[in-house]
Each structure stands twice: as C-alpha cells, then as structure tokens.
C-alpha cells in the first residue's frame, strides 16, 4: 500500500460556462500508508469529486495527486493502482463469485495458484465461502456489495482503496457486521483506505482519522476523539455528535476579576487557560458544550451560583439515553442535556443546569478560541 497526498486540489465543473460549479475550493490532505480514513460531509460538499480525482477518473482543475511522493496527476486510473468500490457495485453476472474475485488478479497476470490462495483468504475474511460458486444474480445487493468489496481488497499491489458510500444498499442491521469485516481486511492487508459516507457513526467506527468537508473545503482532519472534544469551529461542533454540541450565543463580562460568558442574566465561568485569549469587546461569541457534559439538578442546588435555572421543554429517548431540551430562565437560550434513561424528569419541570468549565469550548466568529 502507499501514502496518498492530495495537494492544493481545486475542481470546477463546467468552468467558464453559466453552469460553472466549484466542487472543491482547495483541499490538502495526506493519507498515511496503511491507515483507515473516512471522508464525511453533507450532500454536495465534494466527497465523490475528491475521490474521483484521487482515483484518476477525473482530472482536477488545479493541484496534484501524489502516490508515495510520485506525482500521478496526469496518469490514467489503471496506472495508479487505486481500487474503487462504488455505491452500486459493478459485478459480472456471467461469472460466479470466485471468478469475480479472481478477475482483477487474472487481469494483472497473477499465476493461478496464487490467485487461488488469495481468493481463499479474502473469502475467509469476508465469510464468502458458502457462495463462492454461486452466480451473483441470485445473491441480492448486499452480498454483491461484499463481493465488490472483496474484489477491491484482493489486489496486493493496490496503492489504496477508495469506498464511496458502499453501504447504501445494505440493510441497516447488517451494516455493522460488514463494516467490521472490511475493517479486519483493512488491518490485515495494511490497506490505505478512504471511506466516503455521510453517516458519522459509520465514519467514526471505520476510521482512525476522519476528514470532514463542507462546501468544497476540508474543515478538519482528525481523530474521532478530537473532532468530538476539540472541534475547530461551530460547524464541526454541531455536525459531530447526536445531538451535536450546544452552541449558545453569549457576550463576555468581567466578574470577580475573571472573564465570564454571559447568557442573558446568567454568568458562566470559563477555564483559566482561556482567559488571556478572550477580548471583552468581542461580539458574535458562542460557548459550546456537549449535551453529555451538561450537569442537571432537579432540586435547587446548594451552590446556586454555578447553576442556571431552566424549564424543561421536551424529553426524548435517544439511543438508550434521555435528551432533555430546556430553556434558561429569562432567556430564549435552549440547552440540550443528556441524562440516564431512568432519570426522573418531565416536560415543564424546573431544573438547574451547570456547565463544567473544563468542558466548555469557546467560539468567536464561529472559530474555536484556544486549544483544549
């Protein structure tokens, strides 16, 4: 496998016409050899365009693609040795599963005995043994997608494998198993992988690092942990997590000699490391806090200073937790808080919320201020 570098790539469709579309503004990204990466972002942000530029199906308007340091921008797909698994698999119905898997190897002139051992290995890994001699036309979309995945993985000389939403046709309950098998193959063969999806859960379970795009730009390329804990801007804060980070409009005030975030009448203390980076004259400020970090009290807390009173608007059960939506008293600031499934709480209840300073992120003009 290989290292893939996307250098200063820009792509404009139909340049110079009235239909001109800037699909990629400017992207720089290096995928290290043997790593699992995901490319995540809203529909239309440029994911497929970037993938096709890496594989060579599309010639970029500007910039270069490097494989292990070699500029391959002008090379056609077949000279890049990049396998691509598409949203809708391309499987040959005239061949059985075995021959479909063997196809890229036969094409590459690999000797039959080696082909056989590689097909067996892929078949073991993806659990295709029972269907090796079946015709794809009888298998349904999900197994066909597995075969397509196997065919992508089987070539030992591949520089990288690009997956473009490969789970679209797979039943939700089976996605996890299939993704696990693909992940095992990725690790076993040390594959440099780029997995495109708009499902953050899929991205975060597959990849060591996730690249998040928006409007043709790469916004953050980072571990799941960092995307969650240290989003570079409000877009990532909101996009990652379910529900996303609370982003609460605030102003800055000086209280007891230290800057505080002001949510209407409520003063929220901020951690000391942030203090020197803040400017009390700023407007367009938000504090960000994960629903799981908000502390909820149903009884009036002793130390009221750290708590802001709120009224519960809504309680929903989401993925084994309850998500409370509450409005801070005397404001229209809405906060979501995550509590245990058996936490006794009802709509219209009075509660008290606090925001632990270490868990608060601060944003000025949508950008994160200070590292965590």
Ligand X SMILES: Nc1ncnc2c1ncn2[C@@H]1O[C@H](COP(=O)(O)OP(=O)(O)OP(=O)(O)O)[C@@H](O)[C@H]1O
Chain positions contacting Mg ion, by CB under 5 A = 47-48
Q: What are phi and psi of 312, to 5 degrees?
A: -75, 125
Is the CB of 48 or the CB of 209 nearer to Mg ion? 48
Q: Is 44 in the site for ligand X (CB under 6 A)?
A: yes
Token pair listed for 160 = 């990288």
Which of 7, 174, 183, 198 touches ligand X by CB under 6 A?
A: 198
Q: Are strands 258-263 and 246-255 parallel, antiparallel or unpaired?
A: antiparallel
Which of 48, 144, 145, 209 touches ligand X by CB under 6 A?
A: 48
Which of 16, 17, 18, 43 touches ligand X by CB under 6 A?
A: 43
Q: Is the peptide bond before 243 cis (omega within 30 degrees of 0)?
A: yes
Q: Is 46 in the site for ligand X (CB under 6 A)?
A: yes
Which alpha helices (H) appear in 160-244, and where do they start and end?
172-188, 200-206, 224-229, 234-239
Is the CB of 236 or the CB of 328 nearer to ligand X? 236
State whether the Cα torsion 161-167-169-174 is positive or negative.
Answer: positive
Distance (Å) of CA 171 to CA 66, 179, 271: 36, 12, 45
Q: Which range binds ligand X by CB under 6 A, 13-21, 25-33, 199-207, 350-358?
A: 13-21
Question: 318: how many CB neighbours lie within 10 A of its CB?
Answer: 13
Token pair listed for 298 = 């149903």
Q: Is 47 in the site for ligand X (CB under 6 A)?
A: yes
43 binds, among Mg ion, ligand X, none (CB under 5 to 8 A by kind): ligand X
Is the CB of 33 or the CB of 215 nearer to ligand X? 215
Which of 29, 45, 105, 310 touches ligand X by CB under 6 A?
A: 45
194 binds, among Mg ion, ligand X, none (CB under 5 to 8 A by kind): none
**What's the min distance (Å) between Cβ of 268 and ligand X?**
37
Q: Is 23 in the site for ligand X (CB under 6 A)?
A: yes
Is the CB of 21 or the CB of 73 nearer to ligand X? 21
> What order do you get walking across the sheet with 285-289 strand by strand?
266-269, 258-263, 246-255, 285-289, 361-364, 367-368
Q: Write down the residue that tokens 């982003």 correspond to.
A: 247
**What's the min distance (Å) between Cβ of 209 and ligand X?**
18
Q: What are phi and psi of 220, to 5 degrees?
A: -155, 135
44 binds, among Mg ion, ligand X, none (CB under 5 to 8 A by kind): ligand X
Number of residues that bind ligand X (CB under 6 A): 13
**What's the min distance (Å) between Cβ of 162 and Mg ion?**
12
Q: What are phi and psi of 96, to 5 degrees?
A: -80, 180
**What's the min distance (Å) between Cβ of 215 and ligand X?**
9
- Torsion (CA) 274, 279, 285, 290 in degrees, nearest 10: 10
Is the CB of 166 or the CB of 269 nearer to Mg ion? 166
Q: Are strands 36-40 and 193-197 parallel, antiparallel or unpaired?
A: parallel
Report residue 251 CA to chain centroid gap. 31
Interface residues for ligand X in 221-250 (CB under 6 A)? none
Helix (H) or strand (E) holding 143: helix 140-153
**What's the min distance (Å) between Cβ of 75 and ligand X?**
21
Where do contacts with ligand X occur on this chain (CB under 6 A)? 13-14, 21, 23, 41, 43-49, 198
């Amino acid at each position: 496998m290989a290292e893939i570098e996307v250098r200063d790539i820009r792509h404009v469709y139909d340049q110079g016409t009235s239909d001109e579309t800037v699909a990629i503004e400017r992207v720089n990204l290096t995928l290290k050899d043997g790593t699992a990466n995901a490319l995540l972002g809203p529909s239309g942000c440029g994911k497929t365009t970037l993938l096709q530029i890496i594989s060579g199906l599309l010639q970029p308007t500007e910039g270069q693609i490097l494989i292990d340091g070699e500029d391959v921008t002008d090379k056609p797909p077949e000279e890049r040795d990049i396998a691509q698994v598409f949203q809708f698999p391309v499987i040959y119905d005239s061949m059985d599963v075995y021959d479909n898997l063997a196809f890229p190897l036969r094409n590459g002139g690999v000797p039959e005995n080696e082909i056989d051992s590689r097909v067996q290995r892929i078949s073991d890994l993806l659990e295709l043994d029972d269907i090796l001699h079946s015709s794809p036309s009888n298998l349904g979309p999900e197994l066909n997608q597995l075969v397509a995945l196997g065919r992508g993985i089987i070539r030992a000389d591949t520089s990288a494998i690009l997956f473009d939403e490969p789970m679209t046709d797979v039943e939700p309950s089976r996605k996890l198993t299939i993704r696990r098998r693909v992940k095992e193959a990725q690790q076993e063969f040390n594959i440099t992988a780029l997995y495109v999806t708009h499902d953050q859960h899929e991205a975060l379970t597959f990849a060591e690092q996730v690249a998040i795009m928006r409007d043709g730009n790469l916004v953050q390329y980072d571990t799941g942990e960092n995307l969650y804990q240290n989003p570079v801007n409000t877009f990532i804060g909101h996009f990652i997590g379910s529900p996303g980070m609370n982003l609460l409009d605030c102003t800055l005030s000086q209280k007891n000699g230290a800057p505080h975030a002001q949510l209407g009448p409520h003063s929220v203390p901020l951690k000391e490391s942030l203090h020197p980076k803040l400017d009390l004259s700023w407007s367009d400020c938000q504090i960000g806090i994960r629903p799981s970090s908000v502390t909820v009290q149903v009884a009036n807390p002793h130390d009221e200073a750290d708590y802001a009173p709120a009224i519960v608007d809504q309680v929903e059960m989401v993925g084994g937790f309850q998500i409370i939506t509450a409005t801070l008293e005397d404001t229209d600031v809405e906060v979501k808080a995550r509590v245990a499934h058996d936490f006794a709480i009802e709509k219209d209840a009075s509660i008290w919320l606090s925001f632990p300073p270490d868990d608060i992120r601060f944003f000025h003009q949508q950008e994160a201020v200070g590292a965590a």
